[in-house]
Amino acid sequence: MGEAVLEVTPRILKKALGHRVEVIAFGIAYQGRLQKIDNSSGTIRITDRKNAAIIEIERIASFRTLRD
């Protein structure tokens, strides 16, 4: 598993695109595949088999990649 980062940069997000990630935002842990980075709205989209979450990048408290 990847080490958790507290400051999410565009480089980190781009490297994680398509991989499983864990994002903590608003005190909630979200796990799934990073499907989309939308720089114009400042959001990311994480999906698992049943659900999807759109999270504002500036609200991310912790971010790490998980094993695929």
Q: Which amino acid is at 9?
A: T
Q: How confident is the model at residue 1 (pLDDT cuts 50, 70, 90)?
A: low
Q: Note whether 63 and 14 are within 8 A (CB).
A: no
Give me the mean pLDDT over the 58-63 stretch. 95
Q: Is the pLDDT score of 19 beyond 90?
A: yes
Q: Which amino acid is at 67?
A: R
pLDDT at 46: 98
Q: Note whether 23 and 29 are within 8 A (CB).
A: yes
Please name the residue ranges forming H helices in the chain.
10-16
Give me the mean pLDDT over the 57-63 stretch. 95
pLDDT at 62: 94
Q: How far apart are the first and last CA of the chain?
A: 9
